[in-house]
Each structure stands twice: as C-alpha cells, then as structure tokens.
Amino acid sequence: MRSGPVTAVKFASEGIVASSSTDGSTKFWNLSTGQETEKTAEAVPEGFTFPNEGGAKPQRINSYVVAAKGQTLVIHKAPEDKAETAADGSDDKAGTETPVAFFQCASEIAAFDVAGANVAVACADGQVLQLFAAVLQP
C-alpha cells in the first residue's frame, strides 16, 4: 500500500507492476508475492515511463473493453462495429454493452493497466491491486 494517492500503474515487465504516487515516488511490486521489490534495475526495461495522461481511460482488449467508473472496474463486450472504436482502443460507447465482469474497489480508481488477463488497479486511497480477468484471455 502506498502512503498517498496512486496516480498511475503500469506493467513494467513480466511479474512486475510499477506505481507512482502524488508524492512523486515510484514503487515496483512483485506480482507473485504482492510485496514491494528492490530489484528494479533488473526487472524494469530501459526506457520505462508512465503515460503522460491519466491512466483510467477505457482500454480495448480483444473483443472486450475495460473501463473504470468511480470505484468500479467494468469489463464489457466491445461494440461489433469496428468503426465505433477509436485509435487508442477505446470507444464512445464504453459502458453501453452489458458487463461481463466487474470489480468494486474500496476507493476511487485513479488508473489501471491491462496486460493479457492481468489487470493492475491504482486506487485513490493508496492501494495497488492486481486482478486476474479470465474473460480477457485470448
């Protein structure tokens, strides 16, 4: 758990999630243990950076869209019409399809990142969560 609100999360490498906080610090988490790791030099690829924009934008993964709405992370089927999908993988109809999975956090979702069926969630209360969404498996 972070000491302040988490502003971003991103899968840094296989088995490692990075999180940044409002205090400007970056921490790296081992997904196997859930503990902070000190092996950042070996675990994080050269040139790793967080996105400049907020990390709570909808993401299209295969035929699903993952979106954050307040304290809830929602996974729903993506619209069938590919013309409705933006270049960044999101769509203007995010949330209009029937949800197939959801997760309720204890506080507002500040950011999330998806890598295959793994989802990293940054919470405003300082929590960094790892979820496994089987529906996202190819």
Burial 75-90 (b: 16+ CB within 10 A, else e): bbebbeeeeebeeeeb
Q: Is residue 12 part of a domain?
A: yes
In a domain? residue 27: yes
Beta strands in 36-82 (DSSP E): 59-61, 64-69, 72-77
Based on the structure, what is the number of domains in the chain? 1
Rounded-to-integer distance, Cα 82 and Cα 11, Å: 27
Domain presence at residue 1 = no
| Domain interval for residue 105 | 6-45+54-136
Q: Which residues pair with 13 in a beta bridge?
A: 16
- pTM, 2 dp: 0.79
**pLDDT per position in the chain (138 positions), as tens?**
556 788 888 888 888 888 888 887 888 888 888 888 876 656 666 767 776 655 788 999 989 999 999 999 999 999 876 544 454 455 455 445 789 999 999 999 999 999 999 999 998 888 889 999 999 988
